[in-house]
Structure 1
């Protein structure tokens, strides 16, 4: 591929921008076939590599999908979902998913959870929880939907040494089912002092694309969250959110200036 001068938009980006606008304008409705690579090269006067890269970009965005031996088609539009995070004194009690469900009931929210109580910690998880690799953990995998669309996957790990043998061993069962990490941990004597969140973006891996029902390489928002007490971490979680049609919104309190 020829080099691109500084400040010049690459050919594949220009083609992707043009096709994206035609899709959004309704020229290619959901389920319809968009121009082939050969048609793109002729229409936009670009090479086959640029045409291929443009289609890959639109596929990663979740706008189109390839069908073997048939062509590339516009995907059905996913509902836009706002996953609101209220960073206030009640964090962990007013859960972001509950806020989103209450604000958007017309989208038919639902969720499932699968909890295992004897999962060995990987090196990465052990590092985040300050435990030994292979130490026993409770792993809970949640899948959240609005209608038929998967909007979030949440996988959490808690050391069995903390919750084992207590009423809060299973996050969605018992007297504090669904109460949130701070309330559950406080009930067994572990008071949360702060939570750390790292937000990044990356393409979806093969297994993630199957679970989240998005194309391989589609953009994901990845939220790594760890709840901590003065003694150390008590839970860590990976939250995966398809980035094409979903938005994470933070609402943060602001203290008034001194003397106001």
Structure 2
């Protein structure tokens, strides 16, 4: 049988000690050097073990202070549904079995923003083509739970009542309903989730630590002709949210 990697063995041992109450919530763990000596391993092994427990939400690192047992927090569920926009509310927050649903959001839009290269590629437009760029901050029970940065080609919405997503007659109704109002029918949504680390700006907005684990979802919404009508980068703090994907079954 293959032997367990040393950092996994150390992580298991530390987890067991925390769960047994050897270090209470809010208490500081011994230094990396002391733990390395105790377990007969290198400091890098202890560092990797501790990093894994921080990602798992059992511990937290405090810059210049050390590692502490983290206060347990319930991870609320966010459902990513194939039924985008059919249940009302903002497009990123619909779905059944969702707990701690975001009840408010702040949004700020800028018009005539040149599309960066990566965004232009997603939207199948030229680099520098003008877009509407909207930043969202979503709140649940007054706590920030999600960020989103959305891009829509101005060639599609310029001069229409829906150019600004959070202004006009369909403010806050979501991409599907807004686009339908100008004769554009949304057919497909593609989402690519990736783990990432919070940047300083994201950490400040979400109230988490710089480098904390987040889920970054790259979304592209297509019309019936396969033309992208919107793309967004959605950032969800791992410590506060678990993400579930819901798919209906085609019975035809």
Q: 2:45 aligns with which of 50, 58, 62?
A: 50
Equivalent residue for 2:9? 14
The CA deviation string for residues 93-139 of structure 1, in whole angstroms up to 9 with x for no partner, is: 32442547x8435x884432222223221000001111111122111
Offset of residue 228 of structure 1: 1.1
SS of 2:67's equivalent?
strand
Return 20-29 or 69-78, whichever deviates more. Answer: 20-29
TM-score, normalised relative to structure 1: 0.81
**2: distance between equivalents of 1:99 and 1:183?**
16
> Cα RMSD between the aligned structures?
2.8
Evaluate the alpha carbon distance shift between residue 26 and residue 151 of structure 1 in structure 2; reply closer, same or farther with a 3 A threshold: farther
1:12-91 → structure 2 map (5 Å cutoff): 12-88=7-83, 91=84
Give the number of aligned pairs: 248
**2: distance between equivalents of 1:28 and 1:113?**
42
TM-score, normalised relative to structure 2: 0.84
> In the alignment, does 2:214 pair up with 1:224?
no
Alignment check: 8 A CA contact 2:145 2:237 kept? yes
> In the alignment, does 2:249 pair up with 1:254?
yes
Equivalent residue for 1:234? 229
**2: distance between equivalents of 1:232 and 1:33?**
53
**2: distance between equivalents of 1:225 and 1:108?**
19
Alignment check: 8 A CA contact 1:143 1:152 kept? yes
Offset of residue 72 of structure 1: 1.6
Runs of 4+ in 1 over 6 A off after TM superposition: none
Alignment check: 8 A CA contact 1:199 1:224 kept? yes
In structure 1, the gaps of 5 or more residues are 1-5
Evaluate the alpha carbon distance shift between residue 142 and residue 78 of structure 1 in structure 2; reply closer, same or farther with a 3 A threshold: farther
In structure 2, the gaps of 5 or more residues are none
Equivalent residue for 2:85? 92
